[in-house]
Amino acid sequence: MKRADLIRNSRRLVVKVGSAVITGPAGLDPARLAELARGLARLAEGRELLLVSSGAIAAAAPLLPRKPQTLAELQAAAALGQPELMRAWRSALAGHGLQTAQVLLTAEDLTDRKRYLNARATLEKLLAWRAVPVINENDTVITEEIQFGDNDQLAVRVAGLLGADAILVLSEAEALFDSDPRQNPQARPVRVVERVGPEVLAMASDRPGSAGRGGMKSKLLAARMALEAGIPFWLLPGRRPGVLESALAGAEVGTLFRASARRYGGERLWLAQLSRHEGTLVVDEGAARALREEGRSLLPVGVRDVSGSFAAGSPVRVVDPQGRLVGIGLANYSAEEIRRLAGQPSSRLAGLLGRAGPEEVIHRDHFVLLPAD
């Protein structure tokens, strides 16, 4: 798909704005917000728009005695800054007739299937009301165990949740370069990427930007998630004037990660994008091959080892004997039950458990293949 067609043919877009794009030394930059609001209003003409915006902690800077250091200080700063961030976006977008709504999420919200579906229903209703959801990670309550890691991945999860047609990521970086331009002045921009493999990941630094958690490595990992879901991911220079209008016109700006046909939808997409799993099943070579090449279910006889403590219905990783990821699936049995069943034929299931049950440890309808890298 050509750049000019990408947005023109989209009916639902996710735009992610990084902290460094909308902040300056004194906190939020009203001029930058006004500039972006004009472009966002153009994108919203005939389309549904979701805005994932970082910047809560940066927005709190003028209100703080010093730069926050501890987790408690960072969370408190987010609590102070989030209303300022929403007020700024509401003011900037209202001038173009766009209503905004605040949505705060944690990774746990999108890991639990029921909460995932509730979040989707809420966002769908806001879009039906022609509001622009302004989405941010709920930094006031996150811990290392439940955070997305950065809003690049949150944007991809939201795009998958809502079936968006494309993701536009506004960053302080001009594009993906073949090496870190902060260290190599001869680095050249890469305009199109078809697949985010090891050779592309090697181009990036994981050194964070000036105001956010994520570096270029983070954006590439998010782009890989997007491509696995079949969603184009366009990295754009967010501080360049008129960048969204340029993207709408199809200009060769930033780096476009082109996606092929959508691989997953519904429950399988949810499984593919889970950030946390309850346990791991190690399977033998025959079972790994049956899952990868034949689209089979996972039977007890193919299970070699179980790690973790989980209940029936929990999402678990499946790995081959070398520890390479095969995919993610919903377990029909608890970890303790699978330990009893491991290596046994399905015909012995009732005798081993004292009750009847599904012959599969994971049914193929509730399993998604994922790349080993």
- Could you give the residue ranges of the DSSP H alpha helices within 252-284? 266-272
Owning domain of residue 323:
277-369
Report the pLDDT averaged over residues 91-119. 91
Alpha helices in 12-106 (DSSP H): 19-22, 30-43, 56-59, 71-94
Q: Domain holding 51: CATH number?
A: 3.40.1160.10
304 and 251 co-located in one domain: no
Single out the residue in 268, 293, 317 at which a domain terminates: 268
Cα atoms found within 13 Å of the Cα of residue 166, Cβ hemisphere only? 25
Say whether pLDDT at 338 is over 70.
yes
228 and 299 share one domain: no
Residues 75 and 9 in one domain: yes
Q: Does residue 300 sit in the same domain as residue 249?
A: no
Residue 268 pLDDT: 84
Q: Both 237 and 117 in a single domain?
A: yes
CATH number at residue 337: 2.30.130.10
Confidence at residue 211, expressed as pLDDT on a 0 to 100 scale:
44
The last residue of a domain, from among 268, 291, 308: 268
Question: Are 214 and 332 in a shared domain?
Answer: no
Domain finish residue from 217, 240, 268:
268
Q: What is the DSSP letter of 273?
A: T
pLDDT given for residue 283 in this prediction: 97
Tens of pLDDT along 258-302? 987 666 777 888 888 887 789 999 999 999 999 999 999 999 999
Query: For 50, phi and psi rounded to 5 degrees?
Result: -120, 130
Task: Give the total number of structural domains in the chain.
Answer: 2
Q: Is the predicted pLDDT of residue 220 greater than 80, yes or no?
A: yes
Stretch 245-250: mean pLDDT: 93
Co-location of 285 and 262 in the same domain = no
DSSP characters for 106-129? -HHHHHSHHHHHHHHHHHHHHHHT
Q: How far is the C-alpha of 289 from the C-alpha of 291, rounded, in Å? A: 5
Q: What is the pLDDT of residues 25-48, one digit of tens each?
A: 888 999 999 999 999 999 999 999
Q: Does 158 share its domain with 307?
A: no
Based on the fold, state whether residues 190 and 287 are members of the same structural domain. Answer: no
Are 257 and 282 members of one domain?
A: no
pLDDT over threshold 80, residue 143: no
**Co-location of 80 and 224 in the same domain:** yes
pLDDT band per the 50, 70, 90 thresholds, residue 223 = very high
Percent of the chain with pLDDT over 90: 65
Same domain, 262 and 307: no
CA distance 36 to 168: 13
